Structure 1
Amino acid sequence: MHSISNVEFMLLQMIEECRQASGYDIKKLVDQRGYREWTNIGTTSIYAGLKKLSNKGWITTEESDGKSGKGPMPNRFALTEAGIAKLRQEILDSLSSARERDSRFDLGLAALPLVEKDEAVEALRNRLEFLQETSKKIKQKYESQGGVQLPLNVRALFLHPINLIESERMFVANLMKELLEETEEYGKDH
């Protein structure tokens, strides 16, 4: 189990990306990026998550300078040093070892710009090894239970994850290639 929830992970990312964000800013980003489609996040979970992050000492509350409308000044949140460290650790962990169809990996992808390119590439390299190992274990189990002799429904339970993992490995390899090419182009410009 992860030490922080997907909601907390996403909140840390958004606050860091905005440098400072109010609950409203975060809600707007969640809607714009379609996070609700694949991660279980509603307005109440945003505010509950912010409270948890604050209690853990990973975010700090700052009063906003810009007043808009008649309501009270909205609180703006920023990451503490501990919050930044936790976010970086979670990004790299999620990129290197979340299972093939895990929204945790998607959250890691969304946060790619928040870690160094070489760290991201290394995490993705670890993911490739992780996927390779997982695929190998499933294939061994499949073979030990009879492989192609198994009934179709049982074969499908093995072949489906094997195929998903193969597809995921191709995706990760291409993503790494693009990151490395981007790094080379970046090096030429500077």
Structure 2
Amino acid sequence: MELTPAELTVLGLIIERPRHGYDLEQAIEERGIRQWTDIGFSSIYYLLSKLEKRGLVRVPEAPAAAKSRRVFQATDEGREAAARNALALIGELRPVPHPVLVGIANLPLLGEREYVQALRARLAQIAERIAAIRAAQRAQAPLPAPAREVFSYSLSLLEAERSWLAERAQVPDGGQDRLQEDL
């Protein structure tokens, strides 16, 4: 049974410990999970409902409570599906759409100066994102192994992009020939 990244993220948080929807939102916010997944606050209950219908999470019998305070637990099937999907996502190289590539593919529409300005703007944003991730990492120390790996991988990707952008953003005005050769 294939899980979307959002489903696997929510299921993984429930596997860590039983949680209700608001608790999931807090964990997602505190850990900066929205930096690398597309889980909106409004989609948490939708995802919980889907996981429950598929038998991957359950709510133990309890006195009637408000829906928002239903505490979800992972089922054995949920744990197995999460493990299989996590292994597949880690071990299989999958194409990831990257909007910056669409912009670069349309480079002929831009002048060199515009392109360099856009690269420099992106470079500044990358630097801000790196600083924010490092601050979140420090704020949550000591980190469990999965969180350390997420931070490490995220920072490595951002550092690689920062390096590429820094090299490209140094193209001097009038260096269109060099830019075209590199492309």
TM-score, normalization by structure 1: 0.47
Give the number of the structure with larger relative contact order, counting CA–CA contacts within 8 Å between residues 6 or more apart.
Answer: 2
